[in-house]
Amino acid sequence: MNILVTGATGFLGSHLVKKLKSLDHVVYISNTRQCNLNKIENLYEFNDISFDYIFHLAAATKAGDYCLTHQGEQWENNQLLNTNMLIYWKDYQPQAKIICMGTSCSYPADLPMVEENYLTGLPGKDLYTYAMTKRMLLTGLMAFEKQYGLKWLYFIPSTLYGPGFQEHDNHFIFDLIRKIYNGQHHGADVELWGDGHQRRELIYVDDAIDAMLNLLGEQNEIFNLGSSNDLPIRHYAQDICDSVGYEHDKIFYNTEKYVGVRKRKLEVDKVKLLYSNYCKTPLKNGIEKTVQFYRDNYGNKNREG
């Protein structure tokens, strides 16, 4: 099959491309350097190719407090790349099924995170702009389905983790690994934001990809992708401390820093009904593989951040 992947050099994208190639698919990529989505004309190089699937993973965002301080950039960049991709799909690749990624921060804070609530109420104010661009992406998919009969899937992952992340990726689990590893091996102070009791949910990146690929036969559906097991930051920190040999009591939890929502857990009954082998990587195994990747690729660098 011919498959286009946008955001192909990002964390999820790089793992997905590797998996698709292992299955003998012909994969074409788009990223910030190659076929940048900021201009729709860049996609015209693919006009002679008929895609079976388009995985639209590209997004403009960062972890931490970026969403608080770059609302304008987030709105502009995400609306531009999402609109360009959807228009290109409609005009030049209508035979393809498009698979897009949402975000758990689009859910309202006061309702269960089940798929039918995704467009209900208002997202939290801290991540509001980015959350709304993802809601608009889903709205575009549904609009193009209704008017033009196009086919799509929309996946909402919890925090993805595993080997292959960039050294300065600040998603919480990678940040914990970097700081705790450097605390043990380079004598850096380990400061984590918040009191450590805020809860987060992880899904191993290969488990998320397996679920996506096993659900490709579905159409015009929304699926949460999470482990259904949210844990305190302190739990993840302890697992990483155990892996690298650092004493958890040495960690300083800074309650003056931005921590985001206190709790976020996706309901995943819908995907479990359709995919029986879902989410098979135990957390400790996944953490150890991720720590080992950091150790092998970045661990010899004496730095704190």
Q: Helical H runs in the chain?
A: 11-22, 66-69, 71-92, 128-148, 172-186, 205-214, 233-244, 269-274, 283-297
The better pLDDT of the pair 6, 59 is held by: 6
- The reported pTM is 0.92
CA distances from 281 to 101, 161, 206, 207 (A): 21, 11, 9, 7
pLDDT digits (tens, 9 = 90+) for 67-82: 566 678 888 889 999 9
Q: Which of 234, 241, 291, 231 is nearest to 263 (CA)?
A: 231
Q: Which residue has the tokens 């998919």?
A: 141
On the question of pLDDT at 304 being above 60, the answer is: no
- 184 and 250 Cβ atoms separated by less than 8 Å: no
Q: What does the alpha-carbon distance between residue 264 and residue 232 come to, in Å, rounded to a whole number? A: 11
Confidence of residue 63 (pLDDT cuts 50, 70, 90): low
> Which DSSP symbol is given to 138?
H
Q: Which of 86, 113, 66 is nearest to 269 (CA)?
A: 113
The whole-number pLDDT of residue 229 equals 87
The whole-number pLDDT of residue 305 equals 44
